[in-house]
Amino acid sequence: MNQNERIYASEGPTTEFDQGLRQLMLTMYNHTASGLAVSGAVAWLTYSSGLLYAMGSLLYVAMFAPLGMIFWYSFAGQNWSLQKLGVFYYAFVTLMGLSLSTIFAVYTAMSITQVFFITSATFAGASLYGYTTNRDLTSWGSFLFIGLIGIIIASIVNIFMASTALMFAISIIGVLIFTGLTAYDTQNIKNMYVAHAHHGDTEWLDKSAIHGALSLYLDFLNMFQFLLMFMGNSE
């Protein structure tokens, strides 16, 4: 039994505790769904309006800006106010929508829709597992992080090799890693609530919902992109 489980056992499964946890998870999932909806709408509007082609070199700025924002968030995000965190999250998902608009120029709308629903089902199953399982997934963290680094290195190498077989392998492994990360992140968010619930810090809970939503948003989006790489049909 890990520390968070011992805390939970000592607190007891009170009605107030259960309601607080459900409220946190519901708020987090709502932010995740809203972020995905904003990104999808921005991506489609950018493509359908012709803005994608009118942006020119600015498209590369839009594609790499979210990466810079994530580095900024990683170093400073934990100290931001709730308002600043919320503004950052929705600015980030909007920029991600601009970046994602290129998929409509590469893949058919039908295959994008099919992959989205497959990703949604996989994501929901993995997150449900992370929320309900009694198994401690903490040990998955380092393994998944190493796998993620490996994928990044392999993707960079494949830019020069242009190997279809390697790209297929990267896609499969990427889906597995982000499925695991979805379960891991969900349990981690639940465990943080267990550890902090007795403090009664409302602002901390609201900020945690956005932190968690960002993690799950990235898990979903990366899973979607890796699935699209080997299941999507090109235009």
Q: pLDDT tens, 217-229?
A: 999 999 999 999 8
Average pLDDT over residues 93-108: 91
Average pLDDT over residues 46-66: 83
Instruction: In whole angstroms, give the CA distance from residue 207 to residue 78.
Output: 9
Q: Is 119 a domain residue?
A: yes
Q: Is 215 a domain residue?
A: yes
Q: Is 26 a domain residue?
A: yes
Q: Is 1 a domain residue?
A: no
Instruction: In whole angstroms, give the CA distance from residue 83 to residue 97.
Output: 21
Instruction: In whole angstroms, give the CA distance from residue 187 to residue 141.
Output: 11
Q: How far is CA 16 from CA 56, 160, 190, in A?
A: 54, 56, 15
Domain count for the chain, please give it: 1
Q: Is 103 a domain residue?
A: yes
Q: Please give the structure tokens belonging to residue 139.
A: 């040990």
Q: DSSP H helical segments within the chain, as ranges?
A: 3-11, 15-48, 51-54, 58-76, 82-100, 103-106, 109-132, 140-161, 164-196, 202-231
Domain that holds residue 163: 14-231
Q: How far is CA 175 from CA 12, 21, 29, 167, in A?
A: 36, 28, 20, 12
Q: For residue 53, is pLDDT > 90? A: no
Q: How far is CA 24 from CA 171, 211, 214, in A?
A: 32, 11, 14
pLDDT category at 52 given cuts 50, 70, 90 is: confident
**Interval 144-186: pLDDT, tens:** 989 889 998 998 888 888 788 888 899 999 999 999 999 999 9
